[in-house]
Amino acid sequence: MPTAVTLYDLIPLINPHPYLDNPVVRDWYMGKIASMRKASLWLAISDSSRQEGLTHLGLDPARCVNVSTAAGDHFRKLVVLPEREQALRAQYQLHKPFVMYAGGIDHRKNIDGLIRAFALLPPALRSGKQLAIVCSARPEDREGLLTLARQQGLVDGDVVITGFVPEQDLVDLYNLCVLFVFPSWHEGFGLPALEAMMCGAPVIGANTSSLPEVIGRDDAMFDPRDDKAIAAKMSQVLSDDAFRRTLVEHDAQQSKKFSWDESARRALRAFEEMHESTAAATNRTPVAPTAAKRPRLAYVSPLPPERSGIATYSAELLPELAKFYDIELITALKAVDEREMSATFPLRSVKWFRDNASSFDRVLYHFGNSEFHQHMFSLLEEIPGTVVLHDFYLSGIQAYRELVNGEAFALTRALYGSHGYCAVAERAQALDTADVMFKYPCNFDVIRLASGVIVYSPHSLELAKQWFGSTSTDNWALISLLRVMPESIDEARIRARKELGLDADEFLVCAFGLLGPTKLNHRLLDAWNQSSLATDPRCRLVFVGENEKGSYGVQLEQAIANSREGAEISISGWVDAETFKRYLSATDVAVQLRSLSRGETSAAVLDALGRGVATWSTPTDRWPTCPLTRL
């Protein structure tokens, strides 16, 4: 049956903290998102909400329609009689001309920013005004806002929090206020701004999400994350009578663009177009549109909380793939780490997948060179699929299968299948198996069985042609490794440094990812100890990642312990995705070294560059003397 869904906003999906911090709430919400994706038609209440659906859910643009919204007819300009005005002012402690906000109390509403901006008004202008926060408020919220007001130098009575007001009182207050300010960072529509406009109040608001299309005037907008910008626009309206009059005149005309009749016409037109297009496509009785019949994808990969960079990558990739597929996760995990996964998908065991593989339209394997991929080799033999080859060299996991997991001759078979008898003989004669592992990729069984291969590095294509011939990559695709970056780099940096306990003047240098010989962590440590940074207590070097478990890791820890006295050097160990991102945002310099590339692509380098972090990287084992002295 064709189904239409009203799309108000995707605020929790786009800004999961703090809305989805509770795992129960998160599961419920993501279940609703999954259901909504299966609808036939989406009716958005603003163009901003429509764009959110297209961008974050991959909704079909032809079936996602902005029907807008409206306010009730009782929101109108009227004359508040003196007796009524006096009673309202006495009831709500509004003894002066007041600047008004109405809506909810929520961190995204930016009431804190509004209070700080009000405190920034010129004293002569502010002394004759009050700020009225018109909304229901819990005692702790009320006290928190009033405490903030006092901290900003405001006196009792400068800020009034009315608590809940009846509808008619709200209409009257809109009519009485000298200015209505709506400073919210993110709205689906922003109904209070429209209500105030309909009541004849001059309205200014944030230049974000849907508010520009509601208010409809560029010079009535401000950056909601800039307290001074909010204060400047408030000051302009309160001190410039001509500008204030033009706002009121504009608001009267702009508010007429929003009506329930127009929203109904748009919705009906969308219903009819869906009906006609579906009937034309099927040439028979309309059925649910094909938009609801998305391919079913089996996703085989490490997942959080498994300590794998590919697990973290999957947590970022899955919500994007979910715009196009109904996804089920193939894993031995009983549950995934909900703190890192921003979407919820069914979990299926490997046995279940073997029994039900034919029900899937697509299968996607993520292969890397760690123990988290060992079960995928036998699966790929039985169930073909596309392979994302994160590491061209798979000799490490092949050796793990044989030497640790007890799969007889797994490495020997991989050597023979990929490189022939000479490679097997070389292993038999080698003093150290690691030398053979480092030399040979041992990945041809995966490449041969894959229905297609995706790589992120041109170097992987070169290696494949070098080892297996020029036609070996005919069914390969090179895709750029795209990364998710914070919307506000500067804000993310300030917040991250605060959360990590870093002072503003501390200089932080980080290396990201698992530590090991190919990452040249010892070279970075040597360079640090030879530089003046090692003797400056304001400078820190942090290796953000898990240390190598063998002799290299032991030697590195000993070298750190033997560093100059007072040197601030540490290895964080394995950190969750959020902590990893904090270090990325907080660092002043990222140093990402790599020797003898194995075809990998460094997500950490891209993450650092995307955040505007000065990044030092080299693809070879050549390294200048004491490079940190140049910083």
pLDDT-based confidence at residue 80 (cuts at 50, 70, 90) = very high
pLDDT at position 222 is: 97
The count of residues in the chain is 631
| CA trace torsion 88, 94, 96, 101 (10° rounding) | -100
Measured CA to CA, the distance from residue 68 to residue 292 in angstroms comes to 24
Side chain identity at residue 265, one-letter code: R
Reply yes or no on domain 82-252 having CATH 3.50.50.60: no
Asked if 44 contacts 224 with a C-beta cutoff of 8 angstroms, the reply is: no
pLDDT at position 322 is: 87
Query: Quick check: bond before 304 cis, omega within 30?
Result: no
Q: What is the pLDDT of residues 279-293, one digit of tens each?
A: 766 655 444 444 456
Instruction: Tell me the average pLDDT across 369-379.
Output: 89
pLDDT at position 622 is: 34
Instruction: Tell me the average pLDDT across 330-343.
Output: 75
**CATH 3.40.50.11930-classified regions of the chain:** 296-394+443-478
Paired tokens of 383: 């169930």
How many Cα atoms are found within 13 Å in the side-chain-facing hemisphere of 599? 27
Q: What is the pLDDT of residues 34-69, one digit of tens each?
A: 888 889 999 999 999 999 999 888 888 999 999 999
Return left, alpha or beta for 292; rule: phi > 0 is left, psi -120 to 50 is alpha, else beta: alpha
Residue 133 is given by DSSP the state: E
Q: Rg of the chain's alpha carbons, rounded to an integer?
A: 30
Whether the full predicted model's pTM is greater than 0.75, yes or no, is no
Please say whether the dihedral angle defined by the alpha carbons of residues 520, 521, 527 and 529, taken in this order, is positive or negative: negative
Side chain identity at residue 403, one-letter code: L
Q: Which CATH number fits domain 489-630: 3.40.630.30, 2.30.110.10, 3.90.226.10, 3.40.50.2000?
A: 3.40.50.2000
Instruction: Tell me the average pLDDT across 344-352.
Output: 88
Paired tokens of 156: 């009792």
Please indicate whether residue 620 or residue 23 has the higher confidence score (pLDDT).
23
Q: What is the pLDDT of residues 414-431, one digit of tens each?
A: 999 999 999 999 899 988
pLDDT-based confidence at residue 626 (cuts at 50, 70, 90) = very low
Q: Which residues contact 93 (CB under 8 A, 6 or more apart)?
A: 157, 160
The distance from CA 176 to its chain's CA centroid, rounded to whole angstroms, is 41
Q: Which residues contact 467 (CB under 8 A, 6 or more apart)?
A: 418, 419, 441, 444
Highest mean pLDDT among 30-44, 209-223, 483-497: 209-223
Paired tokens of 24: 């129960």
Measured CA to CA, the distance from residue 343 to residue 56 in angstroms comes to 12
Q: What is the pLDDT of residues 161-199, one digit of tens each?
A: 999 999 999 999 999 999 999 999 999 999 999 999 999
Reply yes or no on domain 296-394+443-478 having CATH 3.40.50.11930: yes
Segment holding 197, helix H or strand E: helix 191-198
Please say whether the dihedral angle defined by the alpha carbons of residues 303, 309, 315 and 317, taken in this order, is positive or negative: negative
- Nearest CA to 110 among 101, 98, 119, 97? 101
Lowest mean pLDDT of 160-164, 231-235, 295-299, 578-582, name the range. Answer: 578-582
Three-state SS for 476? strand
Please say whether the dihedral angle defined by the alpha carbons of residues 540, 545, 548 and 554, taken in this order, is positive or negative: positive
Instruction: Tell me the average pLDDT across 459-480.
Output: 90
Measured CA to CA, the distance from residue 225 to residue 236 in angstroms comes to 18
Q: What is the pLDDT of residues 115-142, one digit of tens each?
A: 999 999 999 999 999 999 999 999 999 9
Q: What is the pLDDT of residues 574-589, one digit of tens each?
A: 888 788 889 999 999 9
Instruction: Tell me the average pLDDT across 147-168.
Output: 96
**CATH 3.40.50.2000-classified regions of the chain:** 82-252, 489-630
Residue 79 is given by DSSP the state: -
Numbers of helices and strands, H then E, in the chain: 28, 21
Q: Where are the alpha helices (DSSP H) in 38-134?
A: 47-57, 82-92, 111-119, 123-126
Measured CA to CA, the distance from residue 44 to residue 48 in angstroms comes to 8
